[in-house]
Amino acid sequence: MDRLASTSALNLARSLYEAGIRDEPVLKAVANTPRERFLDAALGHKAYENTALPIGQGQTISQPYIVARMTEILLQCQPQKVLEIGTGSGYQAAILAQLVPQLCTVERIKSLQIQARQRLKKLDLHNIAFKYGDGWQGWPSKGPYDAIMVTAAAASVPNALIEQLTDGGVLVIPVGETSQQLLKVTRKGNQYVSEAIEIVRFVPLINGELA
Ligand code: SAH
């Protein structure tokens, strides 16, 4: 994406720095991404606040701090191919697509997926493959992935996802119910090492049927 950062996006990136985000490419991606395009016009005035906001269908665009935090954790393993579960508005995908060569993203609500695809195309982000499907199953035919990010709360770590990681690959996932522990799970051969990052709050990852 080749554009001048807006003052509001730049200010958002500055506030994320103050909140502890230190990864420069991540801050730059936030500064370069017009978050208002991922929201209804009526919510546009809130686009650069560091808060989660509704995107329809009972879903939310994640809080920018969490987007940045999860992205900086995921980038630590220098992934080439990344899978995102829960495309939603497409904002997290826009950030990731500026930082990794190849992104695959899965969404179970068709209308959200269609909108996200259009937005990302308009921003000239073409290194993204979209799937309408149940992300609990991952996207095996495109895998394995160097990193997987789940942007909805899972009751437990889905086996299908860790099986789709490369050796050394990393899964970033919120696990729990009302509030969740954000986990970083690293694959080491057939072992999985889990590290707790912080407490977060996401909409649930639905296991099973499509909307
Ligand atoms: N990454 C998004 C966050 C959206 S909220 C953004 O930046 O806007 C979480 C999303 O996960 C919702 O759109 C929801 O429909 C989706 N989701 C929930 N369960 C899912 C599943 N099993 N497979 C795919 N997507 C799922």
List, for residues 64-103, the tens digit of each pLDDT value.
999 999 999 999 999 999 999 999 999 999 999 999 999 9
Q: Which residues, including other chains, have CB under 8 Å from residue 88's CB and lie 6 or more apart?
A: 55, 59, 60, 61, 62, 107, 112, 116, 151
Domain of 60, CATH number, reads 3.40.50.150
Q: What is the H or E stretch that residue 127 is in?
A: none
Average pLDDT over residues 115-133: 97
What percent of the chain is modeled with pLDDT above 90? 93
pLDDT > 50? residue 2: no
- Closest ligand 1 atom, residue 89 Cα: 8
Range of the domain at 167: 53-200
pLDDT > 90? residue 121: yes
Residue 48 lies in a domain: no
Q: How close is the Cα of 19 to the center of ligand 1, in Å?
A: 25
Residue 126 lies in a domain: yes
Domain count across the chain: 1
Q: Give pLDDT, residue 3.
A: 58
Residue 67 lies in a domain: yes
Q: What is the H or E stretch that residue 129 is in?
A: strand 128-132
Q: What's the Rg (C-alpha) of the chain?
A: 16
Q: Give pLDDT, residue 1.
A: 54
Alpha helix segments (H runs only) across the chain? 7-18, 24-31, 64-75, 91-97, 110-122, 159-163
- Closest ligand 1 atom, residue 134 Cα: 23
Average pLDDT over residues 155-178: 96
pLDDT band at 44, cuts 50/70/90? very high
pLDDT > 70? residue 127: yes
Tokens 């009751």 map to which residue? 155
Residue 151 lies in a domain: yes
Residue 28 lies in a domain: no
Dist CA 125 CA 3 (whole Å): 12
Residue 24 lies in a domain: no
Q: Give pLDDT, residue 77.
A: 96
Residue 14 lies in a domain: no
Average pLDDT over residues 15-19: 97
Tokens 């296991």 map to which residue? 207
In terms of average pLDDT, the best of 2-6, 104-108, 204-208 is: 104-108
Residue 38 lies in a domain: no
pLDDT > 80? residue 211: no
Q: Give pLDDT, residue 178.
A: 87
Q: Give pLDDT, residue 169.
A: 98
- Closest ligand 1 atom, residue 88 Cα: 13
Q: Which residue's C-alpha comes closest to atom 13 of ligand 1?
A: 88
- Closest ligand 1 atom, residue 207 Cα: 22
pLDDT > 70? residue 165: yes
Pocket test for ligand 1, best of 55, 84, 108 (most atoms within 8 A of CB): 108
The residues annotated as belonging to the active site are 62
94-129: b or e for each residue (b if 16 or more CB lie within 10 Å)? Answer: bbbbbbbebbbbbbbbeebbebbbebbeebebeebe
Q: Which residue's C-alpha comes closest to atom 18 of ligand 1?
A: 205
Query: What residue ranges line ligand 1, CB within 6 angstroms?
Result: 59-62, 85-86, 88-89, 91-92, 106-109, 112, 134-136, 151-152, 203, 205-206
Q: Which residue's C-alpha comes closest to atom 4 of ligand 1?
A: 88
Q: Which residue's C-alpha comes closest to atom 2 of ligand 1?
A: 88
